[in-house]
Amino acid sequence: LAKTTQPISMDSYEGQEVNITCSHNNIATNDYITWYQQFPSQGPRFIIQGYKTKVTNEVASLFIPADRKSSTLSLPRVSLSDTAVYYCLVGDAKLNYGGSQGNLIFGKGTKLSVKP
């Protein structure tokens, strides 16, 4: 599985756009990039997943350059409720039966603090 590197923490203010970048230099051809959000005392929540270029949903956008060695999670106009830890994961999204792809690795994530 490709190792990911992301900033330990970030600060922002309400109403700003926040971009969190994840580095994954050893990403494989079959790997997808997935982001999760975790609030204190809760389990992580899936935010977005992508393979290349740009993916957008109602919560966030995910930008992936052509070489796919990094990705950027973009949160538009954050609010205090977006204060959370954000995890970047890279791996084969189609888990094969009994395959090693079942071994999903979360790093320490990026702690985003949104201030008023």
Partner 1 sequence: NAGVTQTPKFQVLKTGQSMTLQCAQDMNHEYMSWYRQDPGMGLRLIHYSVGAGITDQGEVPNGYNVSRSTTEDFPLRLLSAAPSQTSVYFCASSYLPSGYEQYFGPGTRLTVT
User: Is 37 an interacting residue with respect to partner 1 (CB under 8 A)?
Assistant: no
DSSP bridge pairs for 70: 23
User: Is 32 an interacting residue with respect to partner 1 (CB under 8 A)?
Assistant: yes
Q: Please, which residues have CB within 8 angstroms of residue 55's CB and are 6 or more apart in sequence?
A: 48, 49, 61, 62, 64
Give the x-and-dash track for 96-115 against partner 1 (CB under 8 A): -xxx-xxxxxxxxx------
Report the distance separating Cα 49 and Cα 61, nearest Å.
9
Report the distance separating Cα 36 and Cα 29, nearest Å.
21
Nearest approach in angstroms of CB 109 to partner 1 is: 6
Structure tokens at 88: 């970047």
Please, which of residues 43-62 interact with partner 1 by CB under 8 A?
A: 43-46, 49
| Residue number with CB closer to partner 1 (98 or 116) | 98
| Residue number with CB closer to partner 1 (60 or 87) | 87
Report the distance separating Cα 79 and Cα 54, nearest Å.
23
User: Is 66 an interacting residue with respect to partner 1 (CB under 8 A)?
Assistant: no
Q: Exposure of 59 by Cβ count < 10 A (0-12 exposed, 13-18 middle, 19+ buried)?
A: middle
| Residue number with CB closer to partner 1 (16 or 51) | 51
Q: Catalog residues that contact partner 1 under the rule CB under 8 A.
A: 32, 34, 41-46, 49, 87, 89, 91-95, 97-99, 101-109
